[in-house]
């Protein structure tokens, strides 16, 4: 940890800081500059609390130097991790496009959707049984009944299923219904009790980025899951909140190369929620793959006009099919396949 | 709902929209302007999904006109609501300053803190038994044991207690320990299952604003609680996330008059988390009261240097005492008391 | 314009609004809904000021329906515009990569840079003679002397030159030195006097997006230039400011498809300033082309370690060369060439 | 400057950094920690460019430790500066409320406005002759003619005048008309050529904060003015841009105590532009004074309904008068006067 002292900090103030560092079992390293004094605390940073130093007399500011995330850090695992979902690799040379409707509506809708997902060449399917809605009066999802429809429809094509978990109390049900990949939504990225629970199960977790979560907070949220023992974590960038009002969110493509550098875990992108409009999805999906994403989460509905939610952001089966063709060419351009 | 058609939208596209409106049991109202056609959908907006219209051919954009929040809206209750906590009013002429440490550490610390809270003239006490921490390796709070210390310390001064609930599974325990006011933290503002649960109990709820939640989303989160039957909701502004890095958050004082206009429920402010530094707290607390806040949530620790968390943002007992004096004068200036 | 009246607005308040609309020479269109009354003002919106209505008794809110930008709107020119710079098209099937150093340093540096730009297959060159620096004590650019070095170096390869204009008083000098494309920087996007001046010359203008400019404000800034008679405007997305601190800016790829839909003018991207680090540039440049950008502005320095500014974001000549190869393949994947 | 090396950085990489530091004439200070090596560069930081180090092999990140602003820093002038405008102090015990219309319209409007400003007890007047408008088709201000009306009206009450300068070419005219305080608007906060010019004149400058300028960028913009020789700078917080859409800007009250700590110069607040609605102004103005602002810039119009711009944010003369009474009481509560 680095402690920058204020200009004119007294020797007494400096030695008080040094004492605190020693008390914590670390070693101090004092640099007296032309204008100010800088004190380095050498040793296990996790044993000292920056806050304690920030309020000491004469301290200008305190900065950590080591990262707080350990298990998810690339330092702990220099080569990238490949997560297998029923044999399908996420994080390797092959890019995975996970598609399906925003919400599960009927058995029939899910069957047609599953056919379209498979027909487009996607290997995994998404669908929401429990929906986080801004309004308590909006459709909240079919719940368990939806999971049944989903399982039945996906099995016809042996498609592993991805669905969102919102409530810790539903985790057992998810295990029962053998959900293949559990998604933690943006609004729950820092629902720490939920993170701890999914850290105890042996299922891959897609961790969506919070609407205004920094990359560091996101990595720390993953660390919560990893600390519980579950290292099968997939980051999903889904657009961040900014000042711009012309579109729902801003897809943060920069987060892709940055995360790939910081963590060994796979990074996928949800272009559907990022843009909020179906017509934006192809451009955003293409950008994500070109920037190095390991996969995509794309909303597709057999008949968008009849969708029970987010009707305006779902692709049609045909749009998904042609998007897959373009994505294949881009993947090839960046040395990967789809 | 208002549907603005694109320039050059065809008559066929216009009548398709009209048909959709009628199908939903609403009435259309078509205005043909010089440049474009605007269609108003008259009737119960909640019966139509904007998304359905946004993807129809020829539609430029769709706007709701009625508010989605009903129970918490001031329209439903023009005069302000006063929430009583063991007889102490929140939302009336008297401003309530709720103070105490960030986290509960020991019985002794809580006793001294309770003495200081009472001595400063505050009528309610805060303290955290369950702490939402960015790092899984940071102190997570004492849990139930902490609630015991808290209760014991607060009772000596008959101070109602306020503490944060993070996990739906702990709600029964909170009821058992007779927590007076349940706080929902910023990270859980859109933890909809948690909101639904606290909507079923008969306890006042302090609903903190999410780090980047809009006022509208915040009101909708409160509506989740209200829809469950619990109308005793207190909004708490605690600073929002922006581009600024010189301080942790930006206290959004504008939200105070805006909320007071939109809802009949009380609005309090947490200047401690907003600024993140004890030296900023007085200025922010004073600004909040001057802007019309109904109360404050202020962190105070008997000995900040030894605080187990957020040491740098806690006031000392003496600082709290002198702040209360200034706040009293400002309250008087705006026609209230403390 | 649409005026939504408050619930319980009186008939008197409604007719007062109607009178105002008529006074402005527009026609009113009143829709009485179940909950509220909506009034449409039909006619030339530019003749009424929303503010006047917003303060009238009983008015809830006012919304414009027509766009304020006319000349730059795609409505005025449905097919895209192709801007020619000494015969080189921007906005057509061919994507233009404009490269060169952040700042002009020496004749030698510029000569080597020009050779590298041409060798990589780029057709235009960039370089800064006048630098907007956050600090008054930082290198401010070589000024006119720099323009000379730039011209001489670029001419050896017949590369049109792009450079930034900061001060209206330098415009004549830019014309004298026959700068091919004038760049307006992010900090000057709303320097309206500067926009008016470049609207009077007959040179293509690259208009960079302000750090936190909305797409609408950006289009209006272009309208300032266009209103002066100069329609040769090229939008340049260069990253926006958000809460994220892990990288300098967030490249807003969503703005690319959105702008292409809203305006007929070309849209290019500056991945160098967006990321702020050379190692991020390839991923961002690739994302931009995949998302539909018409060109790129990429910083390259013969020897980044010796660059006088932004040393950490410049590519080396070799990095530029190999990036061009990947970009070519992505361009092909999206039906374009480079 | 502090250079944090990557984990596993080699000795060769470390000594390369050390050599660079020495080359720049500074001294290195190497701390070998358990996990990483930290190198301090002791000496004049302005002689080294962080970018050069950030691209060196093995470097994780580089941080400046000294501030880049010198003249405006409180370190250079511990006690606060009081700026006198025709004898009226800004920055002392007395708080100055500068009021007047958004834009100058007619001689009559200005006369009535000046009477109201004086009647309310304000000692300075504001008014816009040159208006920065988002649309080129909106009223751009009366220009020089407006300055004449303004001077004549204000003189009747000996009120010093404050007006905005947008174009360097108009500076002489401003001097001619003897404008008392020159305002630099938010959109021009980083119009460096304009800052340099006003740095050469002997007039107080009100420097508005850019819509998304950090406190540090704002201080650096002031340093541009100060570096030219003009130290009479007044910071004006006018609301920042965030994700919130319920109001135009978010008034950043936290910036007040932070700036007062960082700089010796006065800090005032513009509650009118921050909120964008007249009904929000009192709450924001009160918050600003309670938080320690040295003054306010408040829009007032003799007849808001007829205002040529921002009609919805101007107070009436009566509203200004009663606001002054409340502000007086709050000023007293925080140990100041009005």
The answer to whether residues A172 and A206 touch, using CB atoms and an 8 Å cutoff, is no
- Report, as an integer, the average pLDDT of B8-25: 92
D243 contact A CB<8A: yes
Distances (CA, A) of C42 to A122, C25, C59, D320: 49, 9, 17, 36
Nearest-CA distance from B149 to chain C in Å?
Answer: 38
In a mutagenesis test of the C interface, which of A254, A278, A285 is the best target, namely the one with the most C β-carbons within 10 Å? A254
What is the pLDDT, as a whole number, of residue C306? 82
What is the pLDDT, as a whole number, of residue D29? 87
- B-chain residues near D239 (CB < 8 A): 254
> By mean pLDDT, which of A61-70, A293-302, C318-327 is the weakest?
A61-70
Which residue in the block uniquely carries the two structure tokens 């657009």? A239
Q: Which residue of B has its CA nearest to A309?
A: B51
Report the alpha-carbon distance of residue A307 to residue A301 in Å, rounded. Answer: 7
Distances (CA, A) of C218 to A55, A276, C25, C91: 44, 21, 30, 18
- B-chain residues near D286 (CB < 8 A): 290-291, 333-334
Distances (CA, A) of D51 to C65, C174, C227, D48: 47, 30, 40, 9
- D-chain residues near B288 (CB < 8 A): 287
Burial class (CB in 10 A: 0-12, 13-18, 19+), C94: middle
Query: Count of residues for chain D?
Result: 338
By DSSP bridging, strand C37-42 and strand C2-5 are antiparallel
Q: Between the CA atoms of C45, C46, C47 and C48, what dihedral angle is there, to the nearest 10 degrees?
A: 70
Report the alpha-carbon distance of residue D306 to residue D108 in Å, rounded. Answer: 13
> Residue B179 — left, alpha, or beta (φ > 0 → left; ψ -120 to 50 → alpha)?
beta
Interface contact C283-A256, CB threshold 8 A: yes
HEC string for A127-187: CECCCCCCCCCCCCCCCHHHHHHHHHHHHCCCCCEEEECCCHHHHHHHHHCCCCEEEECHH
Whether the ipTM is more than 0.90: the answer is yes
With CA atoms as reference, report the closest residue to A102 among C314, C238, B49, D257.
Answer: B49
Q: Which two tokens stand for residue A131?
A: 């929906």
* Predicted confidence (pLDDT) per residue in D113-161, tens digit: 999 999 999 999 999 999 999 899 888 999 999 999 999 999 999 999 9
Asked if residue D57 has pLDDT above 80, the reply is: yes
What percent of chain B shows pLDDT beyond 90?
Answer: 79
Between residues B64 and C119, which one has the greater pLDDT?
Answer: C119
With CA atoms as reference, report the closest residue to C49 among D249, D280, D138, B65.
Answer: D138
Asked if residue C35 has pLDDT above 80, the reply is: no
- C-chain residues near A292 (CB < 8 A): 283
Rounded to the nearest 10 degrees, what angle do helices B281-290 and D255-262 cross at?
Answer: 140
What percent of chain D shows pLDDT beyond 90?
Answer: 79
Residues 6+ away with beta carbon under 8 Å from B61 = B3, B4, B54
By DSSP bridging, strand A83-85 and strand A88-90 are antiparallel
For residue C112, name the pLDDT band (cuts at 50, 70, 90): very high
B337 contact D CB<8A: no
D330 contact B CB<8A: yes
- Report, as an integer, the average pLDDT of C303-309: 85
| Residue D115, H or E segment | helix D107-119
For residue B34, name the pLDDT band (cuts at 50, 70, 90): confident
In a mutagenesis test of the C interface, which of D103, D165, D192, D194 is the best target, namely the one with the most C β-carbons within 10 Å? D192
For residue A284, name the pLDDT band (cuts at 50, 70, 90): very high
Chains contacting D (3+ CB pairs below 8 angstroms): A, B, C
- Report, as an integer, the average pLDDT of B324-333: 98
C119 contact A CB<8A: no
Interface contact A280-C254, CB threshold 8 A: yes
What is the pLDDT, as a whole number, of residue A248? 93
Average pLDDT over all residues of chain C: 94
For residue D178, name the pLDDT band (cuts at 50, 70, 90): very high
Which residue in the block uniquely carries the two structure tokens 């944010």? D313
Asked if residue B217 has pLDDT above 90, the reply is: yes
B311 contact A CB<8A: yes
The answer to whether residues D152 and D159 touch, using CB atoms and an 8 Å cutoff, is no
What is the pLDDT, as a whole number, of residue D52? 83
Nearest-CA distance from B298 to chain D in Å?
Answer: 16
What is the pLDDT, as a whole number, of residue D92? 97
For residue B172, name the pLDDT band (cuts at 50, 70, 90): very high
Report the alpha-carbon distance of residue B99 to residue B122 in Å, rounded. Answer: 7
Distances (CA, A) of B192 to A163, B198, B211, C72, C196: 17, 10, 16, 44, 51
What percent of chain A shows pLDDT beyond 70?
Answer: 100
D20 contact C CB<8A: no
Between residues C63 and B229, which one has the greater pLDDT?
Answer: B229
Q: What is the reported pTM?
A: 0.95
Q: What is the DSSP letter of A74?
A: G
| Residue B153, H or E segment | helix B144-155
What is the pLDDT, as a whole number, of residue B55? 86
What is the pLDDT, as a whole number, of residue D191? 97
With CA atoms as reference, report the closest residue to C97 among C284, C308, C310, C262.
Answer: C284
- B-chain residues near C240 (CB < 8 A): none
> By mean pLDDT, which of B55-69, C78-92, C204-218, D109-123 is the weakest?
B55-69
In the β-sheet with A27-32, what is the strand arrangement from edge to edge?
A: A27-32, A37-42, A2-5, A59-63
Which residue in the block uniquely carries the two structure tokens 């003249």? D71
D325 contact B CB<8A: no
Asked if residue A69 has pLDDT above 80, the reply is: yes
What is the pLDDT, as a whole number, of residue A329? 98
Strand stretches in chain A, DSSP E:
2-5, 27-32, 37-42, 59-63, 83-85, 88-90, 96-100, 124-126, 161-164, 181-184, 205-208, 233-237, 267-269, 295-299
By DSSP bridging, strand B2-5 and strand B59-63 are antiparallel
- B-chain residues near D252 (CB < 8 A): 242, 244, 250
What percent of chain B shows pLDDT beyond 70?
Answer: 100
C268: β partners: C236, C295
Nearest-CA distance from C284 to chain A in Å?
Answer: 6
What is the pLDDT, as a whole number, of residue B312? 87
Q: Which two tokens stand for residue B52?
A: 């359905």
Report the alpha-carbon distance of residue C267 to residue B182 in Å, rounded. Answer: 51
Between residues A8 and C332, which one has the greater pLDDT?
Answer: C332
Asked if residue D46 has pLDDT above 90, the reply is: no
What is the pLDDT, as a whole number, of residue A153? 98
> Residue C43 — left, alpha, or beta (φ > 0 → left; ψ -120 to 50 → alpha)?
left
- Report, as an integer, the average pLDDT of B246-266: 97
B75 contact C CB<8A: yes
Three-state secondary structure call for residue D140: coil
B326 contact D CB<8A: yes
Nearest-CA distance from D52 to chain C in Å?
Answer: 6
By DSSP bridging, strand B233-237 and strand B205-208 are parallel
- Report, as an integer, the average pLDDT of D74-95: 96
Nearest-CA distance from D267 to chain A in Å?
Answer: 22
A31 contact B CB<8A: no
- Report, as an integer, the average pLDDT of A132-149: 93
Asked if residue A308 has pLDDT above 90, the reply is: no
Between residues A2 and D165, which one has the greater pLDDT?
Answer: D165
Interface contact B137-A68, CB threshold 8 A: yes
Report the alpha-carbon distance of residue B56 to residue D289 in Å, rounded. Answer: 51
Cα B250 versus chain centre, distance? 15
Nearest-CA distance from A122 to chain C in Å?
Answer: 19
B8 contact A CB<8A: no
From D243, D253, D329, residue closest to B287, measured CB to CB: D253
* Predicted confidence (pLDDT) per residue in B278-287, tens digit: 999 999 999 9
Interface contact A329-C332, CB threshold 8 A: yes
- Report, as an integer, the average pLDDT of C115-136: 96
What is the pLDDT, as a whole number, of residue C49? 81
What is the pLDDT, as a whole number, of residue C174? 97
**Most confident among B63-77, C53-67, C140-154 (mean pLDDT):** C140-154
* Predicted confidence (pLDDT) per residue in A199-220, tens digit: 999 999 999 999 999 999 999 9
What is the pLDDT, as a whole number, of residue A183? 98
Query: Count of residues for chain A?
Result: 338
What is the pLDDT, as a whole number, of residue C311? 80
Asked if residue A1 has pLDDT above 90, the reply is: no
What is the pLDDT, as a whole number, of residue A74? 94
Asked if residue B45 has pLDDT above 90, the reply is: no
> Residue C76 — left, alpha, or beta (φ > 0 → left; ψ -120 to 50 → alpha)?
alpha
The answer to whether residues A202 and A221 touch, using CB atoms and an 8 Å cutoff, is no
Rounded CA Rg of chain D: 23
B20 contact A CB<8A: no
From D7, D65, D241, residue closest to A36, measured CB to CB: D65
| Half-sphere CA count of B145, side-chain side, radius 13 A | 6
Instruction: Provide φ and ψ at A217, rounded to 5°.
Output: -65, -35
Q: What is the DSSP letter of D189?
A: T
Three-state secondary structure call for residue C92: coil
HEC string for C237-266: ECCECCCCCCCCCECECCHHHHHHHHECCC
Q: Which two tokens stand for residue C167?
A: 């001060």
Instruction: Provide φ and ψ at D137, rounded to 5°.
Output: -95, 0
- Report, as an integer, the average pLDDT of C259-281: 96
What is the pLDDT, as a whole number, of residue B49? 81
For residue B168, name the pLDDT band (cuts at 50, 70, 90): very high
What is the pLDDT, as a whole number, of residue C119? 98
> By mean pLDDT, which of B69-83, C92-106, C302-316 is the weakest?
C302-316
For residue C113, name the pLDDT band (cuts at 50, 70, 90): very high
D124: β partners: D98
What is the pLDDT, as a whole number, of residue C8? 85
What percent of chain D shows pLDDT beyond 70?
Answer: 100
What is the pLDDT, as a whole number, of residue B66? 84
For residue C51, name the pLDDT band (cuts at 50, 70, 90): confident
Q: Give the angle B232-B236-B237 at the CA atoms, nearest 5°.
A: 155
Q: What is the DSSP letter of D207?
A: E
- Report, as an integer, the average pLDDT of D287-306: 95
Distances (CA, A) of B93 to B98, B122, B126, B335: 16, 15, 22, 8
Q: Which two tokens stand for residue D108?
A: 């009559």
By DSSP bridging, strand C59-63 and strand C83-85 are unpaired
What is the pLDDT, as a whole number, of residue B24? 87
A322 contact C CB<8A: no
For residue A309, name the pLDDT band (cuts at 50, 70, 90): confident
What is the pLDDT, as a whole number, of residue A35? 77
Nearest-CA distance from B241 to chain C in Å?
Answer: 7
Average pLDDT over all residues of chain D: 94
Report the alpha-carbon distance of residue D139 to residue D101 in Å, rounded. Answer: 14
Which residue in the block uniquely carries the two structure tokens 């996790």? A46
Asked if residue C148 has pLDDT above 90, the reply is: yes
What is the pLDDT, as a whole number, of residue B298? 98
Q: What is the DSSP letter of D8?
A: T
Asked if residue C34 has pLDDT above 80, the reply is: no
What is the pLDDT, as a whole number, of residue C131? 92
A22 contact D CB<8A: no
Interface contact A257-C245, CB threshold 8 A: no
Report the alpha-carbon distance of residue D315 to residue D329 in Å, rounded. Answer: 20
Interface contact D31-A44, CB threshold 8 A: no
- Report, as an integer, the average pLDDT of B213-219: 97
For residue D232, name the pLDDT band (cuts at 50, 70, 90): very high
- Report, as an integer, the average pLDDT of A157-184: 97
| Sequence-ordered alpha helix ranges (H) in chain C | 11-23, 50-54, 107-119, 144-155, 171-176, 192-198, 215-227, 255-262, 271-275, 281-290, 317-333
Instruction: Provide φ and ψ at B196, rounded to 5°.
Output: -60, -40
> By mean pLDDT, which of B86-95, B261-270, D33-42 is the weakest?
D33-42
Report the alpha-carbon distance of residue D72 to residue D264 in Å, rounded. Answer: 7
């Amino acid at each position: 940890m680095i402690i920058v002292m204020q200009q004119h900090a007294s020797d007494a103030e400096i030695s008080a800081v040094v004492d605190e560092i020693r008390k914590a079992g670390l070693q101090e390293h004092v640099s007296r500059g032309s204008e100010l004094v800088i004190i380095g605390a050498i040793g296990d940073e996790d044993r000292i609390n920056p806050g304690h130093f920030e309020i000491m007399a004469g301290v200008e500011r305190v900065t950590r130097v080591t990262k707080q995330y350990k298990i998810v850090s690339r330092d702990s695992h220099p080569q990238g991790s490949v997560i297998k979902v029923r044999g399908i690799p996420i994080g390797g040379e092959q890019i995975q496009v996970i598609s399906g409707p925003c919400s599960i509506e009927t058995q029939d809708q899910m069957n047609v959707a599953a056919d379209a997902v498979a027909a487009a060449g996607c290997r995994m399917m998404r669908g929401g049984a429990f929906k986080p809605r801004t309004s308590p009066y909006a459709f909240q999802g079919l719940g368990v009944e939806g999971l049944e429809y989903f399982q039945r429809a996906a099995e016809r094509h042996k498609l592993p299923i991805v669905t969102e978990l919102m409530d810790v109390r539903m985790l057992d049900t998810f295990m029962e219904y053998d959900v293949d990949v559990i998604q933690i939504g943006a609004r729950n990225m820092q629902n720490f009790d939920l993170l701890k629970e999914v850290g105890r199960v042996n299922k891959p977790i897609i961790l969506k980025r919070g609407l205004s979560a920094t990359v560091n907070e996101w990595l720390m949220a993953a660390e919560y899951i990893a600390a519980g023992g579950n290292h099968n974590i997939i980051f999903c960038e889904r657009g961040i909140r900014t000042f711009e009002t012309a579109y729902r969110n801003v897809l943060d493509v920069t987060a892709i190369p940055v995360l790939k550098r910081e963590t060994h875990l796979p990074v996928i992108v949800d272009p559907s929620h990022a843009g909020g409009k179906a017509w934006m999805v192809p451009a955003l999906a293409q950008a994500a793959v070109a920037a190095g994403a390991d996969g995509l989460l794309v909303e597709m509905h057999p008949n968008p006009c009849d969708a029970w939610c987010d009707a305006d952001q779902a692709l049609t089966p045909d749009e998904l099919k042609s998007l897959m063709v373009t994505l294949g060419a881009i993947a090839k351009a960046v040395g990967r396949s789809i």
